[in-house]
Structure 1
Amino acid sequence: MAPKHSLTPDDWIKTAFRLLADAGPRAIRVDLMCKALGVTKGSFYWHFDDLAALKAAMIERWRQAAARDLIASATQTELAPRDLIIGLFEEVQKRQAKGGALAETALRQWAGADPAVLKLVREADNERLAFLTTQMRAAGLTGGEARSRAAFVYAALIGMEQLAGEPALTPSNMAGIIDAALTPGV
């Protein structure tokens, strides 16, 4: 339990994500977060105007981590397209090991019931798809084929997040999927 004086907006966002992952979007409530953090509601309102502001901060934090930071991390070095895509999958696996997949799965479920969340999830999906399509084109695929193969690889990535911990989705299996997607005419 964090002392009252040391709480930051980040503490509230992390707590809200834990509640979301554990119990769904209805658990993102001020009273439940206060109980989890051992503070009063005044502490919450010191950091956020209302629950909607917290939810907006949660979604933006996820979008930054799920798309921008993930892609930036995967592209830190000059690599071939295949290796960049594999790097993206490896980054997702690292985040899964830290509990990130649970938050993403819960956030996608939340998006099913909240149009504002859905909009931002789709924007993050589009950023990831654009990255993958660029890598497919850099590997020699063209036009619609590059986009459809990127969508296939992205579906595997989302599936991997949904099945966090599934032993059949090892890095070597994902490399095989990526190799197949990068091979023209397959």
Structure 2
Amino acid sequence: MAQTSKRLTSEDWLVLGLYSLTTSGPQALRAERLARDIGATKGSFYWHFKDVADFKTALLQYWERSTTQHPEPENSSTPAERLLALANTQESASAPNALFANAELAMRAWAREDQMAQETLARVDQSRINDLAEILADLDLTNPDFPRAIYATMIGLKALSTGNFDQDRSALTSLLAAIVALAES
């Protein structure tokens, strides 16, 4: 990342942290490396975070907030429409969502070796599964395996993705349409 003349905010550092985590893994989450990458001094980093552990905590909280608080899709009044809208509201290749879409798998890798990341990921997963379960319950589909299976598909599509987000969205749309058809039968 290039040096900037504007005063850096804590969010600037957190966005850089997500980018660094995604491109280089958790070992990149060091003050000196991050400062070098953004073209600032370590002092700027420490102005916003008391230490690297504080930064990592803030980074996890930032990612959690950003990936679990989605506005309700417009014109989606029925449960079937809300479910089908998930295929279109999933993180996509367009900014600013691209950073979060790409960070998903990096967070999962980090969680395999870091307890705090693992706990954050567990909360995010449960929140997303609960959201799915609520929509499915509105469709009278209360089997607890359905939300987990849909969510696993969403995560799996991200893991399998070769960057063809239209193809991924099409696969998810097909699955969700089949579930809506099941509910309507």
TM-score tier by shorter-chain length is 0.7 to 0.9
CA contact (8 A) 2:9 2:48 kept: yes
Distance 1:56 1:63 in 2: 11
What is the aligned length?
Answer: 178
1:46 alignment counterpart: 47
Unaligned runs of 5+ in 2: none
Task: Tell me the residue number matched to 1:97.
Answer: 94
Structure 1 equivalent of residue 132 of structure 2: 132
Aligned residue in 1 for 2:145 = 148
What TM-score comes out, normalization by structure 2 length? 0.86
- The alignment's C-alpha RMSD in Å is 2.2
Q: 1:59 aligns to what?
A: 60
* TM-score in terms of structure 1 length: 0.86
Q: Following the alignment from structure 2 to structure 1, what is the Cα–Cα distance between the partners of residues 65 and 83?
A: 18
User: CA 1:18–1:171 in 2, change beyond 3 Å: closer, same or farther?
Assistant: closer
For residue 86 of structure 1, what is the aligned residue in structure 2?
84
Q: Which moved more, 1:76-85 or 1:7-16?
A: 76-85
For 2:108 and 2:37, how far apart are their aligned partners in 1?
23
Question: SS state of the match for residue 108, structure 1?
Answer: helix
Aligned residue in 2 for 1:35: 36
Matched AA of 2:124: A
Give the residue type in structure 2 aligned to 1:117: A
5+ residue gaps in structure 1?
none
Match of 2:4 in 1: 2
Q: How does 1:5-16 map to 2 (within 5 A)?
A: 6-16=7-17
DSSP-derived class of the 1:2 partner: coil
> Structure 2 CA distance, aligned partners of 1:77 and 1:29?
44
Query: Hey, what does 1:117 align to over in structure 2?
Result: 117
User: Residue deviations 1:47-74, cap 9 Å, x none?
Assistant: 1101111111111111111112x3xx24
Tell me if structure 1 keeps the 8 A contact 2:73–2:89. Answer: no
Structure-2 separation of matches of 1:31 and 1:93: 30
1:170 Cα deviation (Å)?
A: 4.2
Does structure 1 conserve the Cα–Cα contact (< 8 Å) formed by 2:111 and 2:117? yes
Matched, 1:108 2:105: no
Higher share in helix: 1
Runs of 4+ deviating beyond 4 Å:
75-78
Task: Give 1:81 deviation, angstroms.
Answer: 1.7
Asked whether the equivalents of residues 16 and 28 of structure 1 are also in contact (C-alpha less than 8 Å), the reply is: yes
Aligned-pair identity in percent equals 27
- TM-superposed CA distance for 1:87, in Å, is 2.1
The 1-side partners of 2:16 and 2:171 are apart by: 34
Looking at structure 2, the residues matched to 149 and 166 of structure 1 have their Cα atoms a distance apart, in angstroms, of 25
Relative distance call for 1:170 and 1:34 in structure 2 (3 A) is closer
